[in-house]
Structures are given as structure tokens and as C-alpha cells.
């Protein structure tokens, strides 16, 4: 990005917005509140509706809208690749809609049920979902997607699905394309913005690659080469050669032994994939917190803020959801912090 005025605007805006972040302690505190108290604190009590599901859906939509409004405010002074990078980041939710549609079609769910599982997105992200929902099969859905700006994703997905109708292959294709586009935009940046955002995105990619590669290899039993092919380019620590060394091991235990020591900034890598995912996520959050406050690239700070804010919004929603559905405290604790027992 260029222009001192824009930098100053974003820095100030970000400094003010960062007050919206709750932090781990406040989130924990929310998880200990009763439903009434929690509803007041989170604003859930303002949502009226015939049943809890409707209220939760409205609450989730509003939370998402808050995040998108903040994204729009931060987007305002940005232009060129920086702007495209953030818009691409937001289109993650549209991609989640496509995944939900594909899964719905594979599972032959009724259209109404698929529709309920979709994110309601603002105009600049919204696909014509009517046409996509009104399809019978995954190929037909993907052929309809060929007419949208997701043409290249749909072409790949269609070919793969026709050769091998595995849902996880489709998921991997969609993720691969999403991160490739993100990296593509980041590579067009200059100076600190380029190095810092690539570093940040590299950490996302590391997390994604590690968790999914381990799942594909040791849970689904895929060949190493196939897993390597499905991995995303642009990782920070785990490039393809390094990942190959890890995945050539026969067991998960041995594979974890081959992981580079600097893949986590601190702490030990857990031994189960779910916990590995959580550890990587926590590590990324810590990195994002530092990047938000100290990165020389304002764009990276913005990206870090949006990541943290989205993460917190999801957690707040999860807490409210759990309380409304009467889940036990222990289940909620476990969901929010699965590493607690290990640490203890």
C-alpha cells in the first residue's frame, strides 16, 4: 500500500478496532456465564424468533455482518493487490458455501436443508445460489459454477469429480485454488507488505498442509505422492520436499518425529491430529497478535486483526450455541481448549 495518509488512517483505525478483541481471559469468562448473563453480554437477548435455531441463525448472521463491516472499513483506503488480497480473504465464506452445496448434493439433502447451512453474504460476495441449489448432481452444480467467477475452480473440480467422485478431493481442490489466489495477490505486493503477508499466509498454509496431509496420509491412507500433490504451495516451514520427508514415514508417530522444530513457535507438538490442529491454530493466533501490534506492514496487521476477530466471533457464537443447547461445561471447555488436559 502507498500513501502516508492511508497508512496513518489504517494504523489509527486498527488501534481503535483492536479494542473490540476480547482476549483469552474474557472469552473464558464468557464461557463460565449463565445463559441469561451471556445473552446480555453478547447481545444475544436482542434477537427474537420463533425458536432457538432461528435466533441463533440471526445472531450468527449479525456477528458475520459485524466482521464484514469492519473488513469494509479497513478496505476503504486500500487499492490494487492489497485490496484484492483482503477481498479474496473474505471470499473464503463464499467458498464455504460452495463446499456446503457440494456436500449437500453428494449427501442428497433436500434443497431447504442445504439452504439453511449456507452463509448469507453481502452483495459483493454473493453467488446466484438459486441456480446452484436447483441442481440434482454434483457435476451439474459444478457445470453451473463454470458460468461464475469460480470458473477455474469449477473446471478443476469437475474434472477431478468425473475421474474420481471423492468429496475430500473436491474440498482439497477448492482450498488449493483459494490459497493459490491469495498467494498470487500477496506476491504482487511490494516491500514489507509482500514479505510480511507472505510470511503470514505461509503460516496458514503450514497449518492447513500439516493437518490435512496427516489426515489424508494416516487416517484416509492416501499415497504420499497424492497427498503431496494435494498440498498447497507457499508454506513457510513445510515446503513440499520437507513434507515428503514427513509423509514417507509409516506411522503418525514417526511422521511427527520428522517435523521441523520451528513449526511451532513454542511448546511441544501434540500427538493427535485434532490437538495438532488446535496447537497450530493457537500458534497462529499468537503470531497474529504479535503481527497486529508490531508488523512493519500495515496490511499484515490488518490481516492479523481480521483473523483474530473472526476467530473470536466464532468462539463467542460457539459459546452461545453451546449454552442455548444446554451443553455441559466440560464439553464446552473441551471444545474451546482441547489441549488443557495435555498441558496439565
Binding site for other proteins (CB under 8 A): 12, 15-16, 19, 111-112, 115, 118, 120, 123, 126-131, 133-136, 139, 143, 152, 155-156, 159-160, 162-164, 169, 172, 222-226, 228-230, 233, 240-241, 244
- Whole-Å CA distances, 316 to 14, 159, 189, 291: 21, 39, 34, 23
Please, which residue, 116 or 271, has the CB nearer to other proteins?
A: 116
Give the shortest CB-157-to-other proteins separation in angstroms: 8
Q: Which of 322, 276, 286, 336 is nearest to 307 (CA)?
A: 286
The sign of the torsion formed by the CA atoms of 26, 96, 234, 72 equals negative
Give the shortest CB-82-to-other proteins separation in angstroms: 22
Give the shortest CB-117-to-other proteins separation in angstroms: 12
Please, which residue, 37 or 162, has the CB nearer to other proteins?
A: 162
- Whole-Å CA distances, 97 to 27, 130, 171, 174, 242: 27, 12, 12, 11, 33
Please, which residue, 29 or 162, has the CB nearer to other proteins?
A: 162
User: How many CA atoms within 13 Å lie on the side-chain side of 92?
Assistant: 12
Give the shortest CB-159-to-other proteins separation in angstroms: 4
In the block, cell 490435512 appears at: 212
Please, which residue, 152 or 268, has the CB nearer to other proteins?
A: 152
- The Cα 323–Cα 31 span in angstroms is 8
Please, which residue, 52 or 331, has the CB nearer to other proteins?
A: 52
Please, which residue, 121 or 303, has the CB nearer to other proteins?
A: 121
Give the shortest CB-146-to-other proteins separation in angstroms: 11
Give the shortest CB-222-to-other proteins separation in angstroms: 7
The sign of the torsion formed by the CA atoms of 214, 220, 224, 229 equals negative
Amino acid at each position: 500500500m502507498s500513501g502516508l495518509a492511508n497508512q496513518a488512517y489504517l494504523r489509527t483505525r486498527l488501534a481503535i478496532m483492536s479494542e473490540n478483541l476480547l482476549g483469552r481471559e474474557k472469552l473464558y469468562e464468557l464461557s463460565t456465564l449463565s445463559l441469561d448473563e451471556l445473552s446480555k453480554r453478547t447481545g444475544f437477548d436482542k434477537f427474537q424468533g420463533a425458536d432457538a435455531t432461528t435466533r441463533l441463525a440471526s445472531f450468527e448472521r449479525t456477528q458475520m455482518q459485524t466482521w464484514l463491516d469492519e473488513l469494509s472499513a479497513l478496505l476503504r483506503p486500500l487499492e490494487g493487490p492489497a485490496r484484492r488480497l483482503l477481498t479474496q480473504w473474505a471470499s473464503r465464506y463464499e467458498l464455504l458455501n460452495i463446499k456446503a452445496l457440494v456436500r449437500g448434493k453428494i449427501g442428497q439433502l433436500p434443497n431447504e436443508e442445504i439452504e439453511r447451512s449456507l452463509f448469507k453474504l453481502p452483495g459483493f460476495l454473493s453467488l446466484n445460489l438459486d441456480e446452484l441449489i436447483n441442481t440434482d448432481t454434483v457435476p451439474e452444480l459444478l457445470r453451473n459454477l463454470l458460468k461464475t467467477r469460480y470458473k477455474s475452480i469449477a473446471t478443476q473440480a469437475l474434472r477431478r469429480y468425473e475421474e474420481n467422485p471423492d468429496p475430500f478431493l473436491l474440498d482439497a481442490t477448492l482450498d488449493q485454488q483459494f490459497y493459490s489466489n491469495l498467494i498470487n495477490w500477496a506476491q504482487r505486493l511490494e516491500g514489507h507488505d509482500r514479505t510480511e503477508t507472505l510470511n503470514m499466509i505461509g503460516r496458514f498454509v503450514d497449518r492447513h498442509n500439516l493437518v490435512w496431509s496427516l489426515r489424508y496420509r494416516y487416517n484416509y491412507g492416501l499415497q504420499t505422492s497424492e497427498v503431496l500433490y494435494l498440498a498447497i504451495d507457499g508454506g513457510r516451514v513445510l515446503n513440499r520436499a520437507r513434507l515428503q520427508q514427513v509423509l514417507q514415514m509409516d506411522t503418525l508417530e514417526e511422521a511427527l518425529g520428522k517435523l521441523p522444530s520451528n513449526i511451532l513457535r513454542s511448546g511441544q507438538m501434540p500427538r493427535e491430529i485434532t490437538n495438532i490442529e488446535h496447537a497450530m491454530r493457537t500458534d497462529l493466533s499468537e503470531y497474529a497478535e504479535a503481527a497486529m501490534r508490531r508488523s512493519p506492514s500495515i496490511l499484515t496487521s490488518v490481516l492479523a486483526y481480521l483473523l483474530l476477530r473472526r476467530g473470536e466471533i466464532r468462539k463467542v457464537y460457539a459459546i452461545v450455541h453451546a449454552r442455548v443447547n444446554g451443553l455441559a461445561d466440560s464439553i464446552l471447555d473441551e471444545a474451546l481448549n482441547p489441549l488443557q488436559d495435555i498441558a496439565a
